[in-house]
Each structure stands twice: as structure tokens, then as C-alpha cells.
Amino acid sequence: MSVAIQFDPIRLPPEAEALRAEVRQFLKEEITAGTFDPNGGSRDNPEFSRKVGERGWIGITWPKEYGGQGRSFLERYVINEEFLVARAPTRKHFTADRQSGPVLIKYASEAIKQDILPRIIRGEVSFCIGMSEPDSGSDLFAAKTKAERTDGGWLINGRKLWTSRAHEADYMIGLFRTSAPTHDNRRHGLSQFLVDMKTPGITCRPVLHPNGNYEFNEVTFDDALLPLDNLLGEADMAWKQATSELAYERSGSERFLETIQVLMELVDVIGENPDVREAEGLGRLVAQLHTLRRMSISVAGMLHAGKEPVLEASVVKDLGTVWEQALPSVARDLAAFVDSDPGNRIRFEEVLARNITIAPKLTIQGGTTEILRGIVARGLGLR
């Protein structure tokens, strides 16, 4: 076989399903207790993150020496999807749990690991990712923000842009230029750093979404001095370090469940006796979603087995984000002729409106459609 795209039929193991029951019970209790409202309120909820931390559900796969539980990636998968579907306010710990913590485990000094990992696990600190810049978005390796080595540490100067939640984050994992690209490798010369966002010389400026939401920032570094110890991994070699991180970032259920509430509300608004058009439309959506979930779990199984399924992860993210992006408009069509009671209808319309307005970003963040298809084309041997 010349084309090696692999999706083995992986099923979540019994311990993961047992955990699912616990997670559902926890979410039910927290909703009842008023800790969060699935239909509204802020996605940032420090109290919720602290409670999740108490359960041991942040950094659940991390080594025990740092407060983790050394449990399987498939168990984390279950927690993640249940939180997403319940619209649990995970913002404070989400990024740290998914990718920043794993980067620290792999590349940070022992002192940093001892200091920060237990605090992530308790749900006390949040991370942002400093990659894009004014002249470097999809083309990550064009990043210009500089890190200069001085006697006292690394001196950072430049600007990051589109940095989600930088204004709320305690730390950033930033990608900075430590030397020029080489003639035969334009990816050379970038390094990853741990940045304490309270470092003097760092300022965040809001860049609002079209609906007024504050998520993006422009982060300016003006002679911000980082300790020498904050270089993560090898200088100039970030391009090598980022590969496995991407497989984690791109294959998770957040790449197809972002607008799932629309589908659940659609089912309720359509009611128990759909006409054939509604039923067929609904059936197709469910078949597509079920297929995506099977694919995503298959990738989780490969990650669990220690493989680096970068191609497969890109396939999941492209299919998943295109699907979740289209979902609100498909649902809008399917519900067009529904005569349901006004209460149901109003709720559906609210959920629909929220998701239609966020949909465009889904195929941009974390790797655009075009970039992902480029990766798939490379995997097919075309580049």
C-alpha cells in the first residue's frame, strides 16, 4: 500500500467508561449547585477549575512525581469530551492541560516542573500560546520576535498577535527567534520559552471579535527579561519539538464538538416525530459526527500507544472543523419548517445565533484548512 492512512477500530477501555460515569455525576452536581450554567455565563470559572483539580482530572496522564496520576490518554479523552458537551467552563485550565503541561514535562528544567506542574494540576494557573505575529500567522517560521541571550537571561523584544486569552493567562509558551534561519532550513532558529506574564515589559492590548468578545490580544514584549532556565528544550530547534504537540492539539474532540449544542437543541426542537426531510438531515449529521468521533478515538489510541499520528490528526481536524463550522447553517435549514413550542424555539435560536457568529474562527485557529490539507498532501507524498 503506497498511501499509509491508518485508522484502526479502537474502543475506549472499561476504566475510561467508568470514569465517564463519575464525570457525568460530577457535572450534574456542579450544575445543580450553580457552579456553572451550561447555557450561559463565563467560560472562565476559577472555582470550577479548582474543583476539577481536586478530582485529579487535570494533568491526569502526567507522572505521579509532579502530582499527576499516570493514567491513560484515553481517560483524558473521556473527561475532555464530557466537559465539552456539557459546556463546562474549563477555560482556565484547558490549554495548560492539553498542551502546555506536556511541553513542560518534555522540555522544562526540573525546577520549573516542580514549581508549575502541581499548580496546573490544582487548576490554579492558566496558559496561553504565543505563536502568531503580525507578519507570521500560518507561516509560523516567519516569526520575528527576538530572544537575545544576555548575562542576566533572555531579553525578549517584539509582538505576538491573535494570542487567545493572554490577558487572563499566568504563563505563555512562546515561540521566539534565537538565531537567523539557515540557507537550507528556514525552520531553524526558533526556540520555545516559558514566559511569566507578570514579567515587566509585557503588555496586552485587546483585539475584539466581531461580536465584541474579548479573546484575542496583541502582546508586546519590550525588553522583557526571562531567566536563562526558561528556554524549553534546545535553542533554535523548536521546529523539531512542535511535531508531537500538534498531534495532541489537532485530534481532540474540541475539533468537532465546539458547536455540538446546536445539534442537541436541533434534536429537541424537531421533536419526536420528524418529517422525512428533518429525519434524513439529522441522520446524516449523526452519521458524520459518529464517524468523526471514531476517527478521533482511533488517533487517541495511537497517541496512547506512543505513535505520532500527525497526518491522521490533521485529517481529523480538517474534517472535524469543517463539519462543526457547517453544523449551525445545516441546523438552521433543517429547523426552518418546524412548528415547535415557543420555549424550545427561543432556546434553539439563541444557541444557533451564538454558534453562527463563532463558526468562522473554527477553521482558522490551531492550523487553517489550507495548512492542514497541505499536511495531508505531504502525507500522501505530494510535497
Site residues, another protein (CB under 8 A):
1-3, 5, 7-9, 11, 20, 81, 85, 260, 263-268, 270-274, 276, 278-284, 286-295, 298, 312, 315, 318-319, 370, 372-374, 376-377, 379-383
Give min distance, CB of 296 to another protein, in A: 10
Smallest separation, CB 5 to another protein (Å): 5
| Residues 269 and 295 sit within 8 Å (Cβ to Cβ) | no
Q: CB-wise, 247 or 315, nearer to another protein?
A: 315
* Distance in angstroms between the alpha carbons of the first and the last residue of the chain: 18
Nearest CB to another protein, comparing residues 109 and 291: 291
- Least distance from another protein to the Cβ atom of residue 226, Å: 38
Ranges assigned E (strand) in the chain:
127-130, 146-150, 153-161, 171-177, 190-196, 202-208, 214-226, 231-232
User: Of 46 and 374, which CB lies nearer to another protein in the complex structure?
Assistant: 374
- DSSP output for 284-329: HHHHHHHHHHHHHHHHHHHHHTT---HHHHHHHHHHHHHHHHHHHH
Least spacing, CB of residue 367 vs another protein, in Å = 13
In this structure, are residues 252 and 296 in contact, taking their beta carbons and an 8 Å threshold? yes
- Name the residue type at position 280: E
Nearer to another protein, 96 or 313 (CB): 313
CB of 23 to another protein, least distance (A): 11
* Residue 160 phi, psi dihedral angles, 5° rounding: -105, 150
Cβ nearer to another protein, comparing 157 with 340 = 340
Place of cell 492539553: 98
